[in-house]
Structures are given as C-alpha cells and as structure tokens.
Amino acid sequence: MIVYYFTSAKYGIDNLKHKRLKISNFLNVNDPFELLGVELGDKKVRNAANFEKNKISEEYGLICFSEDKYNPVQWAHYGDNHKGVCLGFEIQEELLQKVKYVSERLLKKTIEESEFNKKILTTKFSHWNYEKERRLIIKNCNFPEDSNGIRFKEFDTDIVLKEIYIGCKSKLTYQDITSSYSSANKSVVVKMTRPAFKTFRIVWDKRNKSTRT
C-alpha cells in the first residue's frame, strides 16, 4: 500500500538526499498519552504502565505515516504549514500497524492481557483520527544511533519511495527535489499541490506538470 510521510522542506530535502527517514522515540512524540492509553487511576496499574512504556521505548522506535495525502490539517501540522513536502512510500501492509482511535481509555484489566503491548502501541484518542495513521514499528537494536543520538532507516525494499508532493506554500521547486534525489528507474513522481476548488482538500496542481526524478 502507499502511505504518506509529512515533513518540513529542510528535513524533506535531507531525507531525499540521504535516502532515509528518522526513527522516532516513543518518549519524544507529540502525544502525552503515547503508550498510556489505559486507565491509570490505580497506582499499581500506573506504575506497571509506565514501566512498560519505558521498556517499549528502549526496545522499539517508530516511523509514522498517514493513509491520506489530501488532508489540509495534516499538511498544516506536519508539513510545516504547507511549506514542506509529503513523501509517498510503498510499504507492505502487513508491516504497518493501523492505529485505533478510541474515545475512552482502555480498561485497567487490559494490562493483564497477552496482547496488551500490541494494543497500547496502536491506541490513540479519537481526536487524532484525522491522521489516519499507520505505524512502522522498528527494533532499535537493528539501527544504531548516530553521533547525535538519532536513528534512521534507509529507503530499501521494505520502504520504497514512489511519490513526492510539494506543499502549496512551499518555495521548493522541481529542481530542488530532483537535484536532491535521483532514482535509477525514474519511477518517483514529483507534483506541486494547491487547495482544491470545491472541497477542503489539498490536490495536485495540474497547472504545474508533474516530473520524475
């Protein structure tokens, strides 16, 4: 399936140049309820949940994608207010975890279930549902930290770049993209975007012809 990764122009160009994506740390994401989607009124449950959160964060990282490239809120929040880029990757669906959006936190007894870690990895508050998030969960031990303490996953057969969309407020040009990323098989499509005329969506600007890297 094709999923989408939103980022700023600066980091987008860096990702393309080095053919890689940053692996996020669960402790540093923008949701304070990350890995804490269970009821925590009971102190024992709270301690157990925090222990599991720290354990998971030590062992695993994640890369967050969206199923939706058209959502203007996604572009605003993660695409640097439409000045960034959206990268479309082909990833086997079975490698991606689909986030489940809930209005109430999981019952505390959930922590005793064998599937607890899987549930907690993919549970978010319902108001995040506009993200239509798919997660690539990654074992940290396979990706050593660089000198800045950051882990990266390189583009490979598991994560294949297919599309590049330039934000409707971006100063990036086709040349900026193609000079940063060269594809041997010329299969990566680059497109400019604009606000749709009839809907609240971000669409391909057909006035600017697409190109390939």
Q: What is the pLDDT of residue 212?
A: 62
Task: Please state, in angstroms and rounded to a whole number, the distance separating the CA atoms of residues 78 and 6.
Answer: 5
Over the chain (213 residues), the average pLDDT of each successive run of 10 is: 98 96 97 95 92 95 98 98 98 97 93 86 97 98 94 96 97 92 76 97 83 59
Q: Are 124 and 101 in contact (CB under 8 A)?
A: yes
Q: What is the pLDDT of residue 115?
A: 86
Whether the predicted model's global pTM rises above the 0.75 cut: yes
Q: What is the pLDDT of residue 19?
A: 96
